[in-house]
Every structure is written in C-alpha cells, then in structure tokens.
Structure 1
Amino acid sequence: MYAYSSGDDSKYPVTLKISNTQLFVSAQGEDKPVLLKEIPETPKVITGSEIDLIFFWKTVNSKNYFTSAAYPELFIATKEQSRVHLARGLPSMTDFQIP
C-alpha cells in the first residue's frame, strides 16, 4: 500500500471539499483559479492522476496553510478582486484562520 507523504510530519495530506456538495478543490497552477471538480463520492484512494486534489495542511501558531501536492511551492491563496488561486505569497494572502 502506498500513502502520499510530504516528507514533513507537521503537514497532513487533505482534500478540500465544499460543504454539502461533491465539489473538491483542484490545483491548476500558479495564479490560476482553483478548479472545482465534481466527484460522486469522497475518494478513499487518490492515484497519481488525481494528485491535484491533495493539499498539505500545516498549522503555524494560529495560522493555517495549504500547499499543493501537485505544485509543492504554491499555497492556496486569496487576493482582492481575484478568485481563490495558487500563489507563492504576497501580494496574495496564503494564511487562514480555522475556527
């Protein structure tokens, strides 16, 4: 059995799903809006062709970061007048607070 690993025990592999839907966040590359993929049921195993669905969740102090498994140097990010996308950092915001 193979499990995807970041090589860093402080990062957890996750998929990101929109609540009450079957829409999962998919990485598309730097400064490109994330894509929402409709998947009939939550995947139990993710293969190499679906690596764009995996993000690594890391918490530092009270901030949460999500790096893409497909694009390890990129984070899920937000920016004024922009859709959610992948970025390396400023001017995009890459940290999130999760209640």
Structure 2
Amino acid sequence: MTEMQSVTVDTIPEGAKILDVREDYEWEAGHVDGALHIPLDRLPDALDELDPDQDLAVICRTGGRSARATQWLESNGYSAVNVNGGMGAWLEAGKPMVSDNGQEPTVK
C-alpha cells in the first residue's frame, strides 16, 4: 500500500477540489465555500459524483475520517490528499468559511 499524501490547510494544491466527508450537521455549521460534501458513510455510493482525474483535498473535523476516505479513494484510483487538522485547522488559520444555517460559520 502506498503512503497516503497529507497536506496542511496552507499547502492545499492549486486547483484541488475540496471534498468534505463530515456529517450533515457539521457541514451546515460551517464549511469551505465551493467544497463538495459527501459524508464518509455515503462515499462508496457517490463515487460517480467525483472525477478520477481531479485532485481531491479531503477534509473532516480533525483529520481521522478524511484519512480513511483518502486511503479508500486512492485504492479506487482517485487522486486524493488528506488535509491535516481538518476544519479545526482551517478555522484556526482564519481561512474563509460559509454556513448553511444562517449563523456565523463554525466547526462542530
């Protein structure tokens, strides 16, 4: 098995699509604008929504679920990197976020 690639929120590759694998309530509270949301447990059924030729930066709350998703995606022929520290690190870095609940974006 190949070594999984990881990046920090500041080194997400240019042009990478962000794939958020958190649960719906976490996504609604705050996420990266323009990210694709597919909760981890729905990922196997949603592969046709992903372009195997597009680089994916996979994110969750802290990095655990996204690490599992990244390994699974890579084993299925997709180009994916895990975002270390997840949305917690994104928030700490002061990166822009949006919410779907009308409240100030936050990480749950």
- Structure with bigger strand share is 1
TM-score, normalisation: structure 1? 0.28
Q: Give the TM-score normalised by structure 2.
A: 0.27
Structure ranking higher on relative contact order (CA contacts 8 Å, 6+ apart): 2
Structure (1 or 2) with the greater helix fraction? 2
